[in-house]
Chain A
Amino acid sequence: MSLPSTCVLDACFIIDWSRWRRRHLIKEIFSAGFMPEITLREVITEKPLRALRELILDGWLTVYPHSRELEEEAVSLILDARRDPRIPRIDPPEALCSILARRLGSALLTENRGIIRAYWLMREKFSPAIVLNSLRLQKLGKKAYGFNRGMNC
């Protein structure tokens, strides 16, 4: 599986990922990362903030400004997903991340079950973005870059 060169980070992903010792390896997998402003607001505790600060100071992470257009597309995705009872609720921050990833053709990094299941069931709504959670990213990282040891906290 070939990965896009950029990624979009969701709040639940960075909260989880910031606990990994070798979290910086994300920069070896992707050349740049994006996080919508609204998602950044959800992160306020020490570990995830430190992880974000490192990524921002390295010039790797860009905080993407909020826009009306992005919001309208996100609402549309939320409503589409609501029509399928198999998909758990998608919340606005995750929907915004999905729309941004779709626009940029990035990998969306998330732990949100609604998004992961929606990607599984209606992939065309996400294309050309791909959706990965931290476990999947680790597996792909191990395969492509040979890192797996020391990924634990």
Chain B
Amino acid sequence: MSSEEWELIDGELRELRRREADWDYIRGLPPKLREAIEVYIETGDLWISAKIAGMTADEFNEIRIRAGILH
């Protein structure tokens, strides 16, 4: 697969995360968590998002599910 094809897949996944996210829930989160969730939506990277939130990957995963982001 070429770079362009991978970028397309990444872009589609990012768009899917943006669409499925419960933005009302996200807007109600404390700033640090909100930033972390937004990083997750953009990157799909659980570990780095968890570290931004000051959490373990496992704890952050629960927030991700509550925010309706399943991809």
Residues of A within 8 A of B (CB): 11-12, 15, 41-45, 48, 85-86, 88-89, 91-94, 112-114, 117
A133 to B44, CA, bound (A): 16
Question: Is the beta-carbon distance between B47 and A45 smaller than 8 angstroms?
Answer: no
B15 to chain A, nearest CB (A): 15
Residues of B within 8 A of A (CB): 1, 3, 6-7, 10, 43-48, 50, 56-59, 61-62
Question: Is the beta-carbon distance between B6 and A42 smaller than 8 angstroms?
Answer: no
Other-chain residue from B6, B46, B48 in contact with A12 (beta carbon distance below 8 A): B46
A147 to B23, CA, bound (A): 39
| A-B pairs with beta carbons under 8 Å apart, 7 shown | A11-B47, A15-B61, A42-B58, A45-B61, A86-B6, A91-B48, A112-B46
User: Contacts A86-B3, A86-B6, A117-B6 hold; do A45 and B45 have CB atoms under 8 A apart?
Assistant: no
A92 to B44, CA, bound (A): 16
- Least CB separation from B1: chain A residue: A86
A113 to B46, CA, bound (A): 10
- Least CB separation from B45: chain A residue: A89
A89 to B42, CA, bound (A): 12
Chain B residues closer than 8 Å to A113, beta-carbon distance? 44
Question: Is the beta-carbon distance between B45 and A43 smaller than 8 angstroms?
Answer: no
Question: Is the beta-carbon distance between A43 and B47 smaller than 8 angstroms?
Answer: no
Question: Is the beta-carbon distance between A89 and B48 smaller than 8 angstroms?
Answer: yes
